[in-house]
A and B are shown apart, each in its own frame.
Chain A
Amino acid sequence: MLLNRESSGKRWHLRPDGVGKVTGKLQYLTDMTLPDMVHGRVLRSSYPYARILSIDITGAEAMEGVLAVLTSKDVPGLNLFGIATPDQPVFCEHVVRYVGDAIAAVAADSPERAAIALDAIRVEYEEWTPLDSPEAALAPGAPELHEHGPGNVLHRTEIKRGNVDEGFATCQHIVSETYYTPRQMHAYMETEGGLFVPDENGRLHVYAATQHGYKDRMQLARIIGCSEEDIRVVSSPIGGSFGGKDELNVQPYGALLALRSGRPVKMHNSRKESVRAGLKRHPMKIEMQTGISREGMIQAHRVRITADTGAYATLGAPVLNFCTEHCLGPYSIPHVDVEGVSVYTNNGVSGEFRGFGGNQAIFAMEGQMDRLAEIMDMDPWEFRRRNMRGKTDPGPLNQRILVTDGLSQVWEAMDRSELWQKHQHPPANPASPPWIKRGVGAAIAMHGAGLGYGIPDPAGGRLSLNAEGKIEVAFSYEEFGQGLIATLEMMLCDLFYCSTSDLSIVIGDTDRVPHSGSSTASRSTTMAWMALQRLQTPFRSKMLSVASALSGIPSDELVTGPGGIWLRGKSTESKAEKIAMSPVITEVVGERTSGSSESFNDTSDTVDNAALISGLVVSYVDLAKQGKSEEWIFDTQFEYPTTPDNVVGGHYLYTYAAVAAEVEVNTLTGEAKLLDTRHVVAAGPVINPMGFIGQIEGGSVMALGFTLTEDALMQDSRYMTTNLDTYLIPTIRDIHTNLEVEAIENLPEGDPFGPRGIGEIGSVALAPAITAAIHQATGVWVNRLPVPRDQLIKPLDVSLQKGVSST
């Protein structure tokens, strides 16, 4: 179904957080203030790599209005953080490893005083030559940045299958290419910050953005040396994250300063500080050699990945795992030899970022596919089809994965699309001057969801009828803009046929939500859905049986509805029967075949019918008064589904996407402009169409930046692009105003996992589609992102260059 407002019908659900956002009334955590609060600032390193000889804070401490000055000596617990590998110092003691490294922090009664106090801290360094690239860091004799070597290698990966040399020996054609991808910046509009409040009972309240409140709480407790219960983390709403706020950033400083000063501490990074200290997407160099038989079947694939993880680990290892898994694409290849290495350098820290290493891998692999198809003189889409994995083939790591038709479905839908059809007849715009060239390209991807085999990926949730008589759902997921709250509302309305005013949705507060894992890896929607599947039946039976006891009506004649429990209406019986199953899934799998939108999820009709025919038996408010409040609480705990095979990081659930792009290149200026795109996404039923479109559009435009303009340039391990005036994310002028989203909603019959998350899939396959289109337009094979403009500028006519007129 082509997804838009019209085709979504009644499922076009207005977000509950909309009014607060458009009126500016919604307080973000960085907007919070308290009357007696003080302001925190962090002193960061003057050099990318240096030994600290001395730190003198006496001047700063003596200043009026300064309440606390902290260095490594003042960290009561572990002076390190990092979700997976805690190797980043809260405060550096002996050595600094990048320009974002923290050395001290101050709290003062005004931001200005805090800044002056920072200036008064004297640090003496012995400057060392930074390791400004993985090559420099891997060179023999390079100093080791961390003790936990060997060398400067954070992590290595490999996939070996068959015999790649023998494979290549049989090949008719081999394409070798090296691909480079940029240090992309998350560029969330709200920079890091928050408010840190100690209370009278000795508890610390942390109001700061994160994608996983419980993980922050655990890490902060470890740093402070207190128990986790002594900390409450409130972590929504968030002004954007995209993976960039998953690690601790200002939290250790805010927390320690608050505890030392006994006052609420406000932190809010400037953009420059955010660039300097914050995470980026791993820049990668991917060397690929791919060989095909005479018939155009891929025989052998050799890949070498080098990722620049920067000064600290963060999620560098899992990102490399993901990249390694995804650099085989959705293709069957008998002989495979992949090696990846993630390298410590003195550059900015690379970490988690939407797509999680898939973007880099897919750009490279799909680039190979286009180059090979051209050698074969074959349609690139047909070339992909020939090599695509079969429906029941194992996944990229030879692991068992869930069998779905997603891949062939997105392939076929794209094959049929008007935009891709244009590829056959390269579009020319007769009105354009001859130096404007157009082309169309496409790419395909399968993208893993969840954290993968061998990595703890717990999930859960809570459903209850609260004291106010609201159906309350509680998860430890966060709202960073993706529309989670709206999606939860819709899931609950689907399940209980209730109205949004019957609901209370609680997220982002460790005091109020159960541990249900992280909002990452496109997992929240699936996990919330699976939790509700587990909880709905006991919860509903409890409500119906209490209502039955109160009313004397047998519970099988009762249904949940708006405001409370209703007598089941005759005409709705068949629909109501299905309540025990998810209406969304039931209808998609069982009833909907033609792609019409009308039959789908018009639950409000059902509710209206029920309301007309039957009567309200007991309200939720009255129900909630029955029995003890604990009796109305239902919890569940489970794990994200993983492959049964022992392959670390291997995924079980995948989403599938195909993307086509039409591009116009100005061969005089080298400017490439994206004109038109189509995304086909197979991710199961669309719960929240507005959110779905928004995620694909947003991911697509973020990928446009990745492809054409974005790179946080570093020279000698210092950022050259320090703010949004030189780091160029797309504006409304740069976007493709034609962006179509086609959703393929089928899932295998009885699929127990429900809708898949789509937070990343819109961002992973656009780059190769654009570069393929550029190739069709200009003949240039792009191997580096962002696309270097000078490569697209047509050299002047040779005779003109020689100074001879071409007449």
Chain B
Amino acid sequence: MTEPLGNFWTAVVNGEKKQLRIAQTTRLVDVLRTQLSLTGTKVSCEVGRCGACMVLMDGEPVNSCLVMAYQCVGSEITTIEGLHGEKEGELHPIQQAFVEEGGFQCGYCTPGMVISTKALLDRYPQPSQEQIETGLCGNLCRCTGYGGILRAVKKVIDEQDRMGST
């Protein structure tokens, strides 16, 4: 039930402080999609298997269908809407690479996939194939066969490589 328990939930979502009156047992995915209208975070399996609901919580990738509101009080949450390039309104290089390499089809897994890629590259700027597979195996995609996704990830890595070496 969404009856308020009397206390507030607060967190920083995409850089903005949010305060809501919600049951603390609400799932983070519902806080985002329903309370905050951030529908870029998708919902698909609700058991932590598909990664469609992936967001960053204090920089770490989490399945927002498995996180309860009380578990992220005071955290910093980044959803797909919080990702952008150097300037707001520009695509993040990961997003840009997904567009250029066709790393999506229906696009429903894409926000989660982009978030997981961000977490992967934040941790390992030059990941091995093994690290890429580990980093993304929690995100299911039914459309692309992952080919375009892998090409997009490799493109970002190559680009970072180029920037680093110049």
Contact = CB atoms under 8 A, between A and B. Distances in A.
Partners in one complex: yes
Nearest to B152: A22
A186 B106 CA distance: 14
A21 interface: yes
Interface of A: 5, 14-15, 17-28, 31, 33, 110, 112-113, 186-191, 237-240, 242, 268, 270-271, 480-483, 690-691, 693-694, 697-702, 723-725, 729-733, 735, 737, 739
Contact of B104 (A18, A27, A112, A186): A18
Contacts, number: 180
B150 interface: yes
Given A17-B107, A22-B114, A732-B137, 17 more contacts: A14-B99, A19-B99, A22-B103, A22-B111, A24-B38, A31-B33, A112-B2, A190-B44, A237-B106, A268-B43, A271-B46, A698-B145, A701-B146, A724-B45, A729-B140, A732-B150, A735-B146
A27 B105 contact: no
A21 B142 contact: no
Contacts of B141: 189, 732
B144 A694 contact: yes
Given A239-B107, A694-B144, A23 B41 contact: no
B113 to A, nearest CB: 9
Interface in B48-83: 48-50, 52, 79-81, 83
A17 B99 CA distance: 9
If over half of B's interface residues share one DSSP class (helix, strand or loop), that class is named, otherwise mixed; here it is loop
Given A22-B91, A723-B49, A732-B133, A480 B106 contact: yes
A24 B41 contact: yes
B127 to A, nearest CB: 12
A481 B106 contact: yes
Given A15-B99, A698-B144, A731-B137, A188 B106 contact: yes
Contact of B44 (A271, A483, A733): A271
B100 interface: yes
A22 B99 contact: yes
B5 interface: no
10 contacts: A110-B1, A188-B108, A270-B46, A690-B148, A693-B147, A694-B143, A699-B145, A723-B46, A723-B49, A733-B134
B47 interface: yes
Contacts of A482: 105
Contact of A483 (B49, B105, B129, B142): B105
B95 A22 contact: yes
Nearest to B48: A725
Contacts of B38: 24
- Give the 3 A-B CB pairs with smallest separation, nearest first: A24-B40, A481-B106, A21-B107
Contacts of A24: 38-41, 79-81, 110-111
B126 to A, nearest CB: 18
B165 interface: no
Given A25-B40, A27-B39, A189 B50 contact: yes
A760 to B, nearest CB: 14
B142 A694 contact: no
B140 A694 contact: no
A481 to B, nearest CB: 3
B104 A21 contact: yes
Interface string B84-115: 00000001000100111111111111110010
A190 to B, nearest CB: 4
A189 B106 contact: yes
A110 B34 CA distance: 11
Contacts of B110: 21-22, 24
A729 B50 CA distance: 10
B92 to A, nearest CB: 8
Contacts of B139: 731-732
Contacts of A188: 106, 108, 142
B23 to A, nearest CB: 10
Contact of A697 (B2, B47, B145): B145
Contacts of A238: 106
Contact of A22 (B49, B98, B143): B98
Given A480-B106, A482-B105, A725-B49, A702 B39 contact: no
Contacts of A723: 45-47, 49
A733 B148 contact: no
Contacts of B151: 5
